[in-house]
Homo-oligomer: A and B are copies of this chain.
Amino acid sequence: MAGQSALLNDLKERGLRVTPQRAIILEAIEGLSGHITAEDIFGVVKEVNSYISLATVYRTLELLKELGLITESNMGTSTTHYALKTHGTHHHSVCRACGKTMDLPNSMFEPMVERLQSEFNFVADANHMVIMGWCECCRPEHTHEQDN
């Protein structure tokens, strides 16, 4: 909508080449909000130009990761999910049984993040944390025995 993608400007500033492929891929990433996979991006990209290869999508994701513009997260599947850093700080729960995900507010994690910092000198990557577990519907029996 802004005519020029914010990510694209970032590339220019750093002296990297702005190619049509990169423009299309970056636009796809900005269009698909939330946590997306390389295949999600590839799907959108193909509709714009079917000659762009999946390898280029991966290479661009790798680049954006290095530039610190996107974050990677593992949602419990074999596929890596990506999200824009600007997507805002929030987190996810993923049900191990049914796979359902929920958004969790940052406030849920703030106290823990602060304690990690003050007590362990560890700066948690508090952008897109993923907590595995079981949702309301899928609670198994062996979740009670957590008291050792």
Contact = CB atoms under 8 A, between A and B. Distances in A.
Given A129-B131, A132-B125, A116 B89 contact: no
B133 A125 contact: yes
B120 A102 contact: yes
B146 A89 contact: yes
Contacts of A124: 93, 131-133
Interface string A106-148: 0011011001100111111111010111111001101100101
17 contacts: A68-B142, A89-B148, A93-B124, A95-B122, A96-B125, A102-B120, A102-B122, A108-B112, A111-B111, A116-B131, A121-B135, A121-B136, A122-B133, A122-B134, A122-B135, A124-B133, A125-B131
Nearest to A132: B125
Contacts of A129: 131-132
A108 B104 contact: no
A113 B129 CA distance: 14
A74 interface: yes
A88 interface: yes
B142 A116 contact: no
Contacts of A116: 93, 104, 108, 131, 133
